[in-house]
């Protein structure tokens, strides 16, 4: 394993193994690597790559680390906004791609592109790339430029992890594009960023995204997920700060995006939960709730509010997340979820709203049994059962219906473990309030 130095102040003398002999460009330093485990140490004031003559792809054929340091102290240091790889005034794509079955680590680098091209990290191949404390800067004016994390073309399989990285967009049409498996921790939009109209888009390979502890508040009132065209994205955000007035999903022509928000908000709110897809949404809601419903702070009750889009049907309903509870009995029980329809006293039929219940129904194995109370397909719908009564709810308009969703008959768990239930809504453009706790009798 070799240590290779890179700085515009070096003599560019192979094998670049001292600061004095440092390679004067990153491309030269990368070309000097010969084995897995090589490390390139980049002067955090390095300006040898701040005016690239052409689009540049840095191919990392070996598993390696590229780390920015202070050459005077050897301490970790970031390039920040004073030095960069790319160009400050011309259109220069900057791309890092890994070799097959390789792992890479980038720290403290600033990648800068100005114009209508992209910054790309972990573009191709079958590689795992982690980036930490990096600054990604899309400058100038553009309409389709992105900072991409992960694979961009079919046939690639990548995992990309970004920690404490900063994303800067000088135009409202900038996006973070994600592909493959992407995980983000402690990342943020630069305070200097424009209020982009949408935060996320997806590459041609689709993506599973997990982000925690990120500050996306400088996006303002834009969409979290842009319109996707025949592409799949499942995104989960946990404990993130969002823009004031953010909109979860842009209008979708397909059925691809799914978004989970756990304790994410623009302000001092610490209970918010949301699930969104093109068929509907489910959010934590504090204006209507069951009087004995769950609380998020020991005192304040909330319910789930489900809103379907015009695309929900009996055969393709909106399906809420699961509600779970631990159950340690093996006797027959009838679990149920209490629901409310506000603004109408007409009961929901079982082809409009129903539940699914999952329990440990097989002895000796963890396999679950799933039952429901949906109308028999091609059968005649019937009204769902009356629930605990509108007097047991707070916040309804005065014209409402209280119902309950439960399996058609009792169930008998064969093992202790998790008991789960969820709500399916096949009625288009409908609103259903759910008390998100499983009650049993």
Question: Rounded to an integer, what distance in angstroms lies between the CA atom of residue 437 and that of residue 371?
Answer: 17
Residue with more model confidence, 100 or 105: 105
Q: What class does CATH assign to 318-440?
A: mainly beta
> So what's the pLDDT on residue 427?
99
Cβ proximity of 363 and 332 under 8 Å? no
163 upstream amide cis, omega within 30 of 0: no
Query: pLDDT above 70 covers what percent of the chain?
Result: 100
**Average model confidence (pLDDT) across the chain:** 96
Provide the terminal-to-terminal Cα distance of the chain, rounded to the nearest Å: 65
Say if CB 99 and CB 124 are below 8 A apart. no
Residue 380 has pLDDT above 80, yes or no: yes
| Position 292 confidence tier, pLDDT thresholds 50, 70, 90 | very high
Say what the pLDDT of residue 312 is: 97
What is the model's pLDDT at position 419?
97
pLDDT at 282 over 90: yes
| Residues 6+ away with beta carbon under 8 Å from 128 | 98, 102, 103, 104, 122, 158, 159, 160, 161
How far apart are the C-alpha atoms of 283 and 433, rounded to whole Å? 10
pLDDT at 150: 96
Residue boundaries of the structural domains of the chain? 3-278, 318-440
Query: Looking at residue 299, what is its pLDDT?
Result: 86
pLDDT, tens digit, 9 for 90 and up, residues 19-49: 999 999 999 999 999 999 999 999 999 999 9
Q: Is the pTM of this model over 0.85?
A: yes
Query: pLDDT band at residue 155, thresholds of 50, 70 and 90?
Result: confident
Percent of the chain, pLDDT > 90? 89
The pLDDT assigned to 144 comes to: 79
> Is pLDDT at 183 greater than 90 in this prediction?
yes
Q: Give the residue-averaged pLDDT of 252-259.
A: 84
Q: Following DSSP, what letter does each residue of 312-328 receive, concatenated?
A: --SSS-EEPPPEEEEE-
The pLDDT of 88-95, averaged and rounded, is 95
Model confidence band, residue 241 (pLDDT cutoffs 50, 70, 90): very high
| pLDDT at site 14 | 98
Alpha carbons 99 and 63: distance in angstroms, whole number: 8
pLDDT of residue 25: 99
List pLDDT tens digits, range 301-359: 999 999 999 999 999 999 999 999 999 988 999 999 999 999 999 999 999 999 999 99
Radius of gyration of the chain (CA): 27
Confidence of residue 100 (pLDDT cuts 50, 70, 90): confident
Residue 156 has pLDDT above 90, yes or no: no
Query: Which residue did the predictor score with more confidence, 228 or 334?
Result: 334
pLDDT of residue 126: 87
Task: Give pLDDT, residue 298.
Answer: 83
How far is it, in rounded angstroms, from Cα 129 to Cα 63? 9
Asked if the model's pLDDT at residue 72 lies above 80, the reply is yes
pLDDT at 198: 96
Contact 401, 419 (CB under 8 A): no
Q: When comparing pLDDT for 132 and 143, which is higher?
A: 132
């Amino acid at each position: 394993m070799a240590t290779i130095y890179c700085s515009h102040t070096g003599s560019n003398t192979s094998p670049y193994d001292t600061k004095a002999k440092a390679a004067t460009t990153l491309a030269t330093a990368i070309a000097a690597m010969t084995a897995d485990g090589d490390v390139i140490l980049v002067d955090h004031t390095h300006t040898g790559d701040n005016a690239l003559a052409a689009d540049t792809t840095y191919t990392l054929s070996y598993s390696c680390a590229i780390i920015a340091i202070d050459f005077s102290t050897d301490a970790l240091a970031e390039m920040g906004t004073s030095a960069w790889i790319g160009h400050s005034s011309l259109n220069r794509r900057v791309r890092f791609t890994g070799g097959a079955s390789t792992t890479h680590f980038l720290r403290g680098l600033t990648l800068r592109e100005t114009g209508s091209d992209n910054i790309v990290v972990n573009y191709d191949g079958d590689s795992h790339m982690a980036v930490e404390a990096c600054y990604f800067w899309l400058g100038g004016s553009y309409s389709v430029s992105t900072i991409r994390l992960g694979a961009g073309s079919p046939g690639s399989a990548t995992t990309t992890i970004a920690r404490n990285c900063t994303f800067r967009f000088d135009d409202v049409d900038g996006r973070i594009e994600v592909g493959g498996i992407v995980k983000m921790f402690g990342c943020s939009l630069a305070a200097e960023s424009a209020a982009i109209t949408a935060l996320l888009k997806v590459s041609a390979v689709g993506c599973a995204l997990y982000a925690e502890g990120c500050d996306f508040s400088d996006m303002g009132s834009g969409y979290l997920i842009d319109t996707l065209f025949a592409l799949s994205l499942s995104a989960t955000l946990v404990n993130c700060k969002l823009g004031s007035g953010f909109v979860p999903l842009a209008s979708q022509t397909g059925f691809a995006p799914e978004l989970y928000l756990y304790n994410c908000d623009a302000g001092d709110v610490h209970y918010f939960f949301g699930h969104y897809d093109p068929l509907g949404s489910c959010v934590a809601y504090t204006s209507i709730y069951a009087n004995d419903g769950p609380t998020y702070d020991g005192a304040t009750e909330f319910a789930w509010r489900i809103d379907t889009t015009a695309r929900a049907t009996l055969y393709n309903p909106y399906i809420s997340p699961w509600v779970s509870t631990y159950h340690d009995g093996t006797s027959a029980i009838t679990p149920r979820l209490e629901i409310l329809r506000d603004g109408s006293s007409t009961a929901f039929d079982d082809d409009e709203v129903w539940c699914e219940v999952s329990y440990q129904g097989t002895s000796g194995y963890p396999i679950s049994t799933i039952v429901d109370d949906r109308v028999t397909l091609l059968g005649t719908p019937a009204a769902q059962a009356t629930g605990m009564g509108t007097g047991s709810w707070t916040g309804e308009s005065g014209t409402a219906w209280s119902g309950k969703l439960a399996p058609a008959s009792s169930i008998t768990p064969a093992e202790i473990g998790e008991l789960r239930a969820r709500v399916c809504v096949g009625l288009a453009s409908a609103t259903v309030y759910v008390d998100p706790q499983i009650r049993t009798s």
